């Protein structure tokens, strides 16, 4: 690959900073009272929208970002992969579908490796029990379980993480029933659910925000230790949710273990067992992978470290080669903008708070945890709080803004990349008022950043990775009206949306007459990369999608 960037024919290279600002979970959607982006006073982003030659929307979901179908909502992994690479690449969900369709799932090295445990040992499956398609999909899990049974697995245990975040809260009950039915249909196999807990409480931490989550998961899945013990998963989920009029959300269910009639856990992980993490998405599988794979490990006391045949659905980290063995090769993302910038000596500053830190670094760089050139890249992580974010919807937006301003003023960076987590993380709580607060605050922070950017004569591109806060209510499929619960309250929507996202360019250093193309009706997030490279003063490399700039 020729990494030399060529000067742009119209936009001169600049030594002033180019700010790329991502509002995580900020979609352009129907303007009603359940759209927090619309309800919040947002004078700064509203003003950007006024200049139609420098504002438009692009697709952030479905096939435009490499997902299997246009019914798939976007998410941070595929969104930042596209934003950072300028390419539409078949993503994990799609690659697993293909591996199942072609049968390659059952022919690779990863499968051969786990199949050595089929006859004499237990095969454990751990992951998010959901059809959300963001981290995992239940239909894929069912197909793999069936495939294992048909190929000789004798004892299967599934460790479930309940969702309620990419899918409606309460759906865990239906997914447990579906999984139980699937397990019961595996003839001649002793197959059971063995442990579980809510995805925001157990196992699925990311970016080392809270290792205690992973420890709780390890204790439940591996050691069979948890504060709650039940004889079946349906009872576990129903009981732990509590009063359905005011339930504990699926996301936050405490860890539990399934026990037999002698109160003995039905599925601890033992030497010789195989362990499969069935999530295809990387961020929330990295820590648990380290716990299973690394001999040397100090994040928490594992108490017991069984020798397992351990695989991921994918390889989650390309730099760490983690895990070493996997069922499906991950998306091959090469020639990212980060690599181009580094190879052309362009200095970069990237910053977010913990919850989104890997989004603007790891995902942006094609699921690589390292640097392309440490001398040229500065990555700053502002530690996130470990609380439900509707309790403190300001999160770390102000601190991120201060760090961004300092980077802009320092004169050290030609690219400054910022992600604001609030519209997404608060949107996932389903709390409309908190989401409105989050959007208002983020708009103020953007205004503040843009003032600083203009004061140094920089250029900017503002966008988002997918929708979320732009719709906070579940809706009737045909009429689009809000769905209400038995007490007449709107049913919260905690997931992302299918909405397109805004793109705005500008800044005191952007030459007059630079405009966004208004054609390309199917443009998606991958078309934004070229625009960012243009703002730096260079032409878009030919393997990337066409730029949005005219
Ligand atoms: O992992 C999560 O928090 C959600 O499943 C998806 O949110 P994100 O794609 O914005 O991170
Ligand atoms: Mn996101
Ligand atoms: Mn999200």
pLDDT in tens, 493-537: 999 999 999 999 999 999 999 999 999 999 999 999 999 999 999
Portion of the chain with pLDDT greater than 70, in percent: 100
pLDDT tens-digit readout, 318-345: 999 999 999 999 999 999 999 999 999 9
Whether residue 1 is predicted with pLDDT greater than 90 in this model: the reply is no
| 292 against 2, higher pLDDT | 292
Burial class of 511 by CB neighbour count within 10 A (0 to 12, 13 to 18, 19+): exposed
**Looking at domain 93-328, does it have CATH number 3.40.1450.10?**
yes
Atom of ligand 1 minimally distant from the CA of 359: 11
Q: What gap in Å lies between CA 245 and CA 251, rounded to an integer?
A: 16
Q: What gap in Å lies between CA 384 and CA 352, rounded to an integer?
A: 9
**In terms of Cα–Cα distance, which of 179, 184, 145 is closest to 162?**
179
Q: What gap in Å lies between CA 307 and CA 5, rounded to an integer?
A: 48
The catalytically annotated residue of 76, 136, 249, 289 is 76
For the chain, give every domain's residue range.
Answer: 18-91+333-535, 93-328
Q: CA torsion sign, 29 to 34 to 39 to 44?
A: negative
Task: State CA 45 to chain mean position distance.
Answer: 24
Q: What gap in Å lies between CA 426 and CA 25, rounded to an integer?
A: 9
Q: What gap in Å lies between CA 454 and CA 226, rounded to an integer?
A: 54
| Torsion angle in degrees (nearest 10) through CA of 296, 300, 301, 304 | -70
The H or E element spanning position 43 is helix 43-50
Residues with CB under 5 A from ligand 2 (ion): 24, 76, 424, 465
For 529, list phi and psi in degrees, rounded to 5. Answer: -55, -45
Report the mean per-residue pLDDT for the chain: 98
Residues 271-277 have a mean pLDDT of 99
ipTM of the complex model: 0.99
Binding site listing for Mn(2+): 24, 76, 424, 428, 465-466, 496
SS (HEC) of 137-163: CHHHHHHHHHHHHHCCCCEEEEEEEEC
The pTM is what? 0.97
User: Do residues 175 and 138 lie in contact, with contact meaning Cβ atoms separated by under 8 Å?
Assistant: yes
Give ∠ CA 147-153-155 in degrees, rounded to 5: 125
Binding site listing: 24, 76, 135, 165-166, 199, 206, 281-284, 356, 424, 428, 465-466, 496
Sequence-ordered list of residues with C-beta below 8 angstroms from that of 301, at least 6 positions apart, any chain: none
Residues 32-43 have a mean pLDDT of 98
Residues with CB under 5 A from ligand 3 (ion): 424
Provide the 3-class DSSP secondary structure of residue 328. coil
Residues 218-231 have a mean pLDDT of 98
Q: What gap in Å lies between CA 152 and CA 210, rounded to an integer?
A: 38
**Looking at domain 18-91+333-535, does it have CATH number 3.40.720.10?**
yes
**In terms of Cα–Cα distance, which of 265, 261, 316 is closest to 293?**
316
Whether residue 443 is predicted with pLDDT greater than 90 in this model: the reply is yes
**In terms of Cα–Cα distance, which of 390, 378, 383 is closest to 354?**
383
Structure tokens at 386: 């470990």
Whether residue 302 is predicted with pLDDT greater than 90 in this model: the reply is yes
pLDDT tens-digit readout, 347-402: 999 999 999 999 999 999 999 999 999 999 999 999 999 999 999 999 999 999 99
Helix ranges restricted to H, 51-134: 76-85, 92-102, 109-115
Q: Measured in Å, how far apart are the chain's first and last C-alpha atoms?
A: 26
Q: What gap in Å lies between CA 208 and CA 287, rounded to an integer?
A: 7
Portion of the chain with pLDDT greater than 90, in percent: 99
Structure tokens at 508: 């005191």
Q: CA torsion sign, 488 to 493 to 498 to 502?
A: positive
Sequence-ordered list of residues with C-beta below 8 angstroms from that of 488, at least 6 positions apart, any chain: none
Which ligand has an atom closest to residue 134 CA? 1
User: Do residues 282 and 319 lie in contact, with contact meaning Cβ atoms separated by under 8 Å?
Assistant: no
Burial class of 371 by CB neighbour count within 10 A (0 to 12, 13 to 18, 19+): middle
Q: How far is the CA of 237 from the centre of ligand 2 (A)?
A: 28
Q: What gap in Å lies between CA 61 and CA 75, rounded to an integer?
A: 8
Radius of gyration of the chain (CA): 23
Q: What gap in Å lies between CA 370 and CA 386, rounded to an integer?
A: 25
Binding pocket residue ranges, ligand 1, CB within 6 Å: 24-25, 75-76, 134-135, 165-166, 284, 424, 428
Whether residue 463 is predicted with pLDDT greater than 90 in this model: the reply is yes
Q: What gap in Å lies between CA 144 and CA 158, rounded to an integer?
A: 12
Which ligand has an atom closest to residue 281 CA? 1
Active site residue 337: no
Q: How far is the CA of 380 from the centre of ligand 2 (A)?
A: 18
Atom of ligand 1 minimally distant from the CA of 166: 5
pLDDT for 537 equals: 98
Q: What gap in Å lies between CA 289 and CA 206, rounded to an integer?
A: 11
pLDDT tens-digit readout, 245-258: 999 999 999 999 99
Which ligand has an atom closest to residue 355 CA? 1
Q: What gap in Å lies between CA 199 and CA 452, rounded to an integer?
A: 39
User: Do residues 205 and 214 lie in contact, with contact meaning Cβ atoms separated by under 8 Å?
Assistant: yes
**Which DSSP state fits 418?**
E
pLDDT for 391 equals: 98
pLDDT for 8 equals: 97
């Amino acid at each position: 690959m020729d990494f030399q960037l060529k000067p742009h024919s119209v936009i001169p290279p600049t030594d002033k900073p180019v700010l790329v600002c991502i509002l995580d979970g900020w979609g352009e959607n129907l303007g009603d009272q359940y759209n927090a982006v619309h309800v919040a006073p947002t004078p700064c982003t509203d003003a950007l929208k006024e200049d139609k030659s420098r504002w438009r929307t692009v697709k952030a979901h479905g096939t435009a970002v490499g997902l299997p179908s246009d019914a798939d909502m976007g998410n941070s992994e595929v969104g930042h992969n596209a934003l950072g690479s300028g390419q539409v690449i078949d993503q994990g969900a799609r690659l697993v579908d293909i591996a199942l369709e072609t049968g390659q799932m059952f022919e690779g090295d990863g499968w051969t490796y786990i199949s050595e445990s089929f006859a004499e040992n237990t095969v454990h499956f751990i992951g998010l029990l959901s059809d959300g398609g963001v981290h995992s999909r239940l239909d894929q899990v069912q197909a793999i379980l069936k495939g294992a049974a048909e190929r000789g697995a004798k004892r299967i245990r599934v460790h479930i993480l309940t969702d309620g975040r990419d899918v409606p809260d309460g759906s865990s009950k239906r997914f447990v029933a579906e999984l139980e039915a699937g397990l019961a249909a595996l003839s001649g196999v002793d197959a059971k659910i063995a442990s579980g807990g809510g995805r925001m409480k157990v196992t699925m931490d990311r970016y080392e925000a809270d290792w205690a989550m992973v420890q709780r998961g390890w204790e439940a899945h591996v050691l069979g230790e948890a504060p709650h013990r039940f004889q079946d998963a349906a009872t576990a989920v129903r009981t732990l949710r509590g009063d359905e009029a005011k339930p504990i959300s699926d996301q936050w269910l405490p860890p539990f273990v399934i026990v037999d009639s002698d109160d003995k856990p039905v599925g601890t992980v033992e030497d010789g067992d195989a362990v499969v993490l069935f999530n295809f998405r990387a961020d929330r599988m990295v820590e648990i992978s380290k716990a299973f794979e690394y001999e040397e490990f100090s994040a928490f006391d594992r108490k017991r470290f069984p020798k397992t045949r351990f695989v991921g659905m994918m390889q989650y980290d390309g730099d760490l080669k983690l895990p070493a063995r996997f069922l499906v090769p991950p998306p091959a993302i090469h020639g990212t903008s980060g690599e181009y910038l580094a190879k052309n000596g362009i200095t970069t500053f990237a910053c977010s708070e913990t919850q989104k830190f890997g989004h603007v670094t790891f995902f942006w760089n094609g699921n690589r945890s390292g640097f392309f050139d440490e001398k040229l890249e500065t990555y700053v992580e502002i530690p996130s709080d470990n609380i439900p974010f509707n309790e403190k919807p300001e999160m770390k937006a102000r601190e991120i803004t201060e760090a961004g301003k300092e980077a802009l003023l320092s004169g050290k960076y030609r690219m400054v990349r910022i992600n604001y987590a609030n519209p997404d993380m608060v949107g996932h709580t389903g709390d409309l008022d908190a989401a409105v607060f989050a959007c208002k605050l983020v708009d103020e922070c953007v205004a503040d950043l843009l003032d600083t950017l203009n004061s140094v004569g920089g250029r900017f591109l503002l966008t988002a990775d997918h929708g979320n806060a732009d719709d906070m209510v579940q809706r009737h499929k045909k009429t689009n009206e809000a769905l209400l619960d038995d007490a007449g309250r709107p049913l919260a929507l905690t997931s992302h949306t299918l909405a397109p996202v805004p793109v705005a360019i500008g800044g005191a250093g952007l030459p007059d007459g630079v405009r966004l193309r208004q054609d390309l009706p199917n443009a998606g997030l991958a078309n934004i990369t070229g625009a960012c490279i243009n703002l730096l003063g260079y032409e878009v490399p030919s393997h990337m999608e066409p730029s949005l700039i005219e």
